[in-house]
Amino acid sequence: MNGRSIRGLVIVGFAVAVLVVAGLGFAYKMSEFAVTIMKDEIEGFGAVAISIYLIGMVPILFFTLWAIVTGRFRDIEQPKYRVLELHDEIERDGGMGYRVSGDRGTL
């Protein structure tokens, strides 16, 4: 195993650990709210907050899963290098579509 694959495994392991802990915390809070609502301790406490939270989180969850399944997170560093390459091309060509002739740039 090379260093890059070990690093990748460590990152994936850390991400899974964070997601598991966050998921368990989320499940605990949801069950706590559900118990509060069912026991009528505070009637409807948090019902609106929970529904808004879920409505906001479901699309984020689906977009994240879609991005993972379609491979959008495979090479997250590549766009950074592409921007730097484009910047170098612009600098090398003398600007964005302008040619320098004399004192003024012309199209």
Please name the amino acid found at residue 51.
S
pLDDT, tens digit, for every residue of 19-32? Answer: 888 888 888 888 87
In this structure, are 52 and 24 located in the same domain? yes
Q: Tell me how far apart the alpha carbons of residues 79 and 28 are, in angstroms, rounded to a whole number.
A: 38
In this structure, are 53 and 85 located in the same domain? no
Name the residue among 35, 26, 31 with its Cα closest to residue 60.
Answer: 26
Domain range for 85: 77-107
Taking residues 55-72, what's their average pLDDT?
A: 86
In this structure, are 21 and 69 located in the same domain? yes
**For the chain, how many structural domains are there in total?**
2
Q: In the chain, which residue ranges form alpha helices assigned H by DSSP?
A: 3-38, 47-69, 78-93
Report the mean per-residue pLDDT for the chain.
78
In this structure, are 11 and 22 located in the same domain? yes
Predicted pLDDT at 85: 93
In this structure, are 8 and 58 located in the same domain? yes
In this structure, are 43 and 30 located in the same domain? yes
Eight-class DSSP state of 2: -
Name the residue among 29, 26, 57 with its Cα closest to residue 37.
Answer: 29
* pTM of the predicted model over 0.85: no
| pLDDT-derived band at 84, boundaries 50, 70, 90 | very high
Predicted pLDDT at 42: 64
* pLDDT at 48 > cutoff 80: no
| pLDDT-derived band at 43, boundaries 50, 70, 90 | low
Taking residues 94-101, what's their average pLDDT?
A: 60
